[in-house]
Amino acid sequence: MEEHDSLKQASRYIVGTTDGTEWKPGHPLRVDGCMLMLCERGSVDITINSRRFTMAPGEMAFLVLYMVAVPVKKSDDFKARFITLDYDEAQDIFFLITSNRFWEYVYTDPIFIMRPSLHHAACRWFSQITWIARHCSEITAGKALRNEVENFMLIMAEQVESHLGSLGTNPPKNRAWVIVNEFLGLLNRYYAHHHDVAFYAERLNITPNYLNIIVRRNIGTTAKEQINIQLGLVVKMLLDTTDLTVKEIAERLHYDDPSYLCRIFRKLTGQSPLQYRNTLRNSQPVGDNTD
């Protein structure tokens, strides 16, 4: 990844370009908070939460920390511009985006085609933030990039609503919403080692019961169910992109008993891990090489 010298100027943001050569096959992209990526040439296939997408020129990827995004294959001429936000910056900006329709759109289509006028604006925006990252001091760059990202995302949300219509009442963000998003951020960091609600509740200084309640109210599942969903997505990704055995996957996720992980996976998918892998590979078109 070709990172600009903004690394030392605005450490909460990284602005640069990538040709994808630094990505590890079968390994998720590291997204600590949020990543916006605009494809300039070539293409890349990425699985996001076990759904496969192709990003081509003129398309943007909007990735947030609790998405499991795994590059599968890319063209030799692939190139994209990107900006990443750390966890705290992303959380602060997400708090301002109240549009239900925007978040539904991002979660449904994290890689999307932009209309020509919006694509032109996005190209200019990436040029602007690149200039800021290269030429401004650390303090100025940090403030300016925060404003640029905040404004761009507010505009994106408005564009989505104007194009697709609003989706119900846009709710005000409150303390419970903040806690739920902090939980999702912690889950993205610690899912491989901690599978119990109590660990996350302790980190958030609340009770496990209260965490389950507010998570259900905000995203429709309990905290425990969300932990299992995250684990299920990672297991799917590993079954899809590696040849690890079920035992090896269980060890990677720190399960002493592989059968327990299998029961969780079957409850989520209706299949055992091996059935899922066989179904996936049997449905792959003849001659399609995803290695």
pLDDT beyond 50 at 1: no
Phi-psi region of 257 (alpha: psi -120 to 50; beta: other; left: phi over 0): beta
pLDDT digits (tens, 9 = 90+) for 179-202: 988 898 889 888 989 999 999 999
Query: What is the largest distance, in Å, between two alpha-carbon atoms of the chain?
Result: 55
101 near 165, Cβ under 8 Å? yes
The percent of residues above 70 in pLDDT, for the chain, comes to 91
pLDDT score, position 168: 64
What domains does the chain contain, in order, with CATH numbers?
A: 2-164 (2.60.120.280), 175-282 (1.10.10.60)
pLDDT score, position 260: 94
The CA dihedral of 258, 263, 267, 270, to the nearest 10 degrees, is 80
pLDDT digits (tens, 9 = 90+) for 127-168: 999 999 999 998 899 999 999 999 999 999 998 888 877 666
Count CB atoms within 10 A of the CB of residue 84: 23
Nearest to 219 by CA among 187, 255, 265, 247: 187
pLDDT score, position 288: 46
pLDDT digits (tens, 9 = 90+) for 68-77: 898 989 999 9
pLDDT score, position 2: 45
Q: Which helix (H) or strand (E) holds 234?
A: helix 223-241
Q: Which two tokens stand for residue 216?
A: 């259900």
pLDDT score, position 269: 93
- Whose tokens are 């998003």? That residue is 181
